Structures are given as C-alpha cells and as structure tokens.
Structure 1
C-alpha cells in the first residue's frame, strides 16, 4: 500500500467517524416534543410520540431534504399533496413526503440504470437512449409515490363511507337516549375501530382541548374528502348551534348515505356488466364461431 493511498483511506475513515459522532451528539438529547407529549396523552390520546432520527437520518437527512425541495420545486402541487395528506389522516409532513418521493425516485433510477447497463453490456445501444431510460425510471418512481398516496386516500375514504351509516345510527341512538353529542361520540369510540373512528377521535380530542363542538365538526367537514361525511358534520354543527333535533338529522343523514351507497352499487354493477362483454366478445365469441364453421370448412376442403 502506497503512503498516498493509506492517507486517503485514513482521511475517508476519519471523516466518516466524525460524521457519525456528530450525528450521534445531535440526536443524543431528546427534543422538547419528545419530553412533553407523553404527559398530554390524557388530553389528546391520539397523539403518537415521534421517533428520534437515527445516525443514518442525521447523516443523509440534509441531502434527502435538499432533493425533496428540488422535487417540490419541479413538480409543484404542494397544496394538493398537503390536502391529500390531511385526508389520509397521515402524521407525515409535506417535507417527509417529498423525502419519500426522492427515495422512490432514486430506487426507480437505480433499477433503470441496472437495466440499461445490462442492455448495453449484452447488445450495446445508444447511450442517450439509455440515459433517457434512466430518467424515465426516475420520473416513474417519483410519480408512482404520488399515485400511491392518491390510492391510499381513495381506499381510506371508501372505508369511511362504508362505516358512516352505522356510526350515524349509533350516534342517533345515544342522543335519543338523552346523552349529548360529545358523550355519544365518546361512547361510540369505545366500540368502533376504523378510519371514521380515527376522524371522530380527532373531533373528540379537539373538543377536549377547548374547541367548541360546532367548530370541531366544521373542521371535520373541512378536512374530509367524503361529501356525505362533510354534510353530516355540517348538519351536526348547525343543529348544535340552532337547537335543531339531532335524532332526525342523524337518521336522515344515515338514510341518505345508504341510498347513495345503493346507487353506487347499481352504477358499479352497470360498469362491470359492460366490462364483462370484453372477454365474451373478444375471447368466447371467436372460439364459438371457429367451432361452428371449422367442420364445414374441413368438409368442403375434403370434397373439393
């Protein structure tokens, strides 16, 4: 080993150890939120204490955040992403989602680079075309992460839409029994578990922290993407402010949602019926025609 090579290896090793030690010293002392949040669980029981970043996060975090800022500047749409994160009920921030997009983009670029290297080593090819393939992999990773977020939002809102009629009927029963809407929500949350239960848990937590009941339901209507739940929250808010009978409002909301669900099922059945015609027309019908005409064709061929 030459002295120059040994010096380079020693410098790289020393720099790496210095980065690890500096990152460990930065994350050694817990943040203020890590020290305070365990003591406010009785007020806001749905808060999750965030985990401290590891050494890898402390070392590579700035680079990933810079890449995330670049992605956000190129793609834009930060308001749309923030809105979808709120509708998903995710505790991730916009910056964390951009970092995740950067990781997906790096993964797509790596996969495309491996494929391009394999193609170039086996068959050769144009270098610009292979570079374009790598860029396509990068964009596919970034856009795939965004599409995954949209799919998660649709799935969660579908579950909330399916859970809503039962929750509305249970709340109507508790209010008809003489309990207040807040007490009814608290009783319902003991027996239901799901996406809608999480949203109602946030409403209950807002009320416990001093927010007015109508304002808490208005916040639910503002952040949800399900129209029926938004109407439900707005109706509850108006009923609480003006003294409208809540039982009739809740039963009407549940009936409307069941009717909407029935219409959605009928529409989905109609779409599936049209989709079922594709294999019938393009697969089964040609085979039937072949079986019907092939014997006659063979007979004519033999007769001639």
Structure 2
C-alpha cells in the first residue's frame, strides 16, 4: 500500500461514516421515541412565567444541526454520566456571559468547532502529503490536535466574553448606583428604584437589573433575586452591592448613603486600575527604547569617532 492510499482511504471512511450517521438519524429512518409519544398528553411539570423569558438574548445558531447534536449529547450523557460532568458550572458561565443557551447546546457548538478544525487540518494534511513520502500518522495527529484546539478555543472565547461583559457592567455601575441613590432619596423603594433605573438606562447591568425585577414580579422575593445575581457574577464590587442592598432592605438602613459609598468605591477602584495599567505600559515602553532606539543612538554618535580613529591609525 502506497503512502498516498492511506489518507485517501481514511478520508473515504470518514465520509462514509458521516453519511451513514446522517442517513440513520433522518426522520424517516427512525420512529418516535417514548418521550415524544407521550409528550402531548403530559402537562409541563414546572410552569415558568413569561417575564423570565430572555427574548432579546441570542439563541442557538446551529439550527437543525444543533438539535441533532443536542439529542445525541443528551443520550450520551444518560448512558455515560461522566460526560455530563461540569454542566452546572457551564450553565453558570453561560448566564454570566448573558447567553440563552443550554449546556448541551454549547457542547454541540464546541463539537462543531472541533469538527471544523478537524476538517480543515485533515484537508491541508492530505493535500500536503500528496506526492511526498511522509509518516502517515502525522496527518492524523495534526487533525486531532486541530480538533482539540477548536474545542478549547470555543471555551476560551466564552471566558473572554464573560470578562468583557463584567467589565462593561463595572463601567456602568457608578452611574446606575447614583441614579438609584437619587431615586431612593426621593422616596422610592428598592424595587421602584431598580425599575426607574431600568427605564432610564440600557446596557448589560440594566439587563441584569431587569432580570432581577422579572424574578420579583414572578413571585420571588427581592432579597432572593439579589442573592441569585450575587451568585451569578464574579465581579466583587457587584457582589458587595447586592449584599449591601439585601442587608439594607432586611435591616431598614438608609439605602442612599450605601449606594453612594459603593459608587465611590467603584470609581476609586477604576482609578487605581488605570494607574496600574499606566505604570505597566510605561515599563513596557522602556523595552523598545532601551533595546532598540538607545543602541542605534549610541552607534550613530560613536561611529564618526571610530571612523576617524581608523583613519588616524
């Protein structure tokens, strides 16, 4: 068997396996499952208020492919419980990123990224191996590495999205806290101040406040809704804000002073971070000056003297 035949046979086997999977999972090739047959006769076990629906949140972009992968991942999670580990943490991270996806939908999206990486790397490896004598295991290793890279890259992008969203919420927090302090000082309650702030502003933090209000309108106490938001975010100023607001509501302490103090704390934190960032950038700017511009300056200044000395010798 020549070295050109092995990549061709591997590509043909993968193509045939993919076509068989698509054919066997087609609607006309499989009968309805037991849960699908009894679903029209069953009432939903947990009714949810329409106020809690995230209409404006982005949904799944995979369409029918996402439903296909979601069903396969759900059955795999039932048969192999170890595969579904970490779904609670993933659901928390998706909530922090403001996405209306379920963990299974995100896993399906990760598998799609891994498949794209595997396909691109396999195609490049096959075209590169044509006409060359190389180790046949190298294309397989490169393809598997690209698949793992695509899978992990999607998770890394989710982490970056969480950081950007929390940075936006921290930037919006001082102004919204001042608005809440003005509303509370004018006689509004905590829930009324939150509602007024949501009507007067827009942004990531406003959407979180609106989510808290929707929870309270559906019957959840305000303190419990604030605790859920505190558990969902990792920004310590927002955690202190929700905890201080809950304590102030429980004990009846004045809210306006608490909100103004927390807004000032966040402004001071932003100033400290700006000074730290400026100091780091100042040190980083010394690298091209010391290793790039300064040697050239010394060379231009000393070269005429060395040239004259060479003539004198």
| TM-score, scaled to structure 2 | 0.77
Please say if residues 68 and 95 of structure 1, whose CA atoms lie closer than 8 Å, have aligned partners that are also in contact. Answer: no
Q: Counterparts of 2:302 and 2:141 in 1: how far apart (Å)? A: 50
**Counterpart secondary structure, 2:199:** coil
User: Is residue 2:289 matched to residue 1:285?
Assistant: no
User: Is residue 2:157 matched to residue 1:128?
Assistant: no
Pair 60,268 (structure 1): closer, same or farther in 2 beyond 3 Å:
closer
Please say if residues 69 and 108 of structure 2, whose CA atoms lie closer than 8 Å, have aligned partners that are also in contact. Answer: no
Q: Counterparts of 2:84 and 2:307 in 1: how far apart (Å)? A: 62
User: Is residue 2:163 matched to residue 1:151?
Assistant: no
Please say if residues 178 and 259 of structure 2, whose CA atoms lie closer than 8 Å, have aligned partners that are also in contact. Answer: yes
Q: Matches of residues 25-44 of structure 1 in structure 2 within 5 Å?
A: 41=50, 43-44=51-52
Residue 291 of structure 1 and its aligned partner are, at CA, apart by: 2.1
The one-character-per-residue Cα deviations of 1:238-281 (angstroms, maximum 9, x if unpaired) are 10011011111111111111111111111111111122122222
User: Is residue 2:131 matched to residue 1:116?
Assistant: no
Residue 58 of structure 1 and its aligned partner are, at CA, apart by: 5.2
The one-character-per-residue Cα deviations of 1:9-49 (angstroms, maximum 9, x if unpaired) are xxx9xx959935579x999xx9999xx98xx54x4474469
**Counterpart secondary structure, 2:107:** helix
1:19 to 13, 21, 26: 26
User: Is residue 2:173 matched to residue 1:164?
Assistant: yes
Q: Counterparts of 2:75 and 2:123 in 1: how far apart (Å)? A: 25
Q: Cα RMSD over matched residues?
A: 3.6
| TM-score, scaled to structure 1 | 0.79
Q: For residue 271 of structure 1, what is the aligned residue in structure 2?
A: 280
**Counterpart secondary structure, 1:92:** coil
Please say if residues 174 and 267 of structure 2, whose CA atoms lie closer than 8 Å, have aligned partners that are also in contact. Answer: yes
Greater mean alpha carbon deviation, residues 286-295 or residues 172-181: 286-295
User: Is residue 2:182 matched to residue 1:173?
Assistant: yes
2:234 to 208, 225, 229: 225
Residue 174 of structure 1 and its aligned partner are, at CA, apart by: 0.3
How many aligned residue pairs are there? 284
Please say if residues 60 and 105 of structure 2, whose CA atoms lie closer than 8 Å, have aligned partners that are also in contact. Answer: no
Q: For residue 193 of structure 2, what is the aligned residue in structure 1?
A: 184
Q: For residue 7 of structure 1, what is the aligned residue in structure 2?
A: none
1:211 to 212, 220, 224: 220
Q: Counterparts of 2:273 and 2:151 in 1: how far apart (Å)? A: 32
Where in structure 2 are there 5+ consecutive unaligned residues? Answer: 1-18
Residue 74 of structure 1 and its aligned partner are, at CA, apart by: 6.7
Please say if residues 19 and 59 of structure 1, whose CA atoms lie closer than 8 Å, have aligned partners that are also in contact. Answer: no
Residue 166 of structure 1 and its aligned partner are, at CA, apart by: 0.4
The one-character-per-residue Cα deviations of 1:57-94 (angstroms, maximum 9, x if unpaired) are 55565456678999995796444433311211221111
Q: Counterparts of 2:80 and 2:111 in 1: how far apart (Å)? A: 7
2:94 to 54, 72, 85: 85
The one-character-per-residue Cα deviations of 1:273-295 (angstroms, maximum 9, x if unpaired) are 12212222232223223323333
Q: Counterparts of 1:280 and 1:122 in 2: how far apart (Å)? A: 49
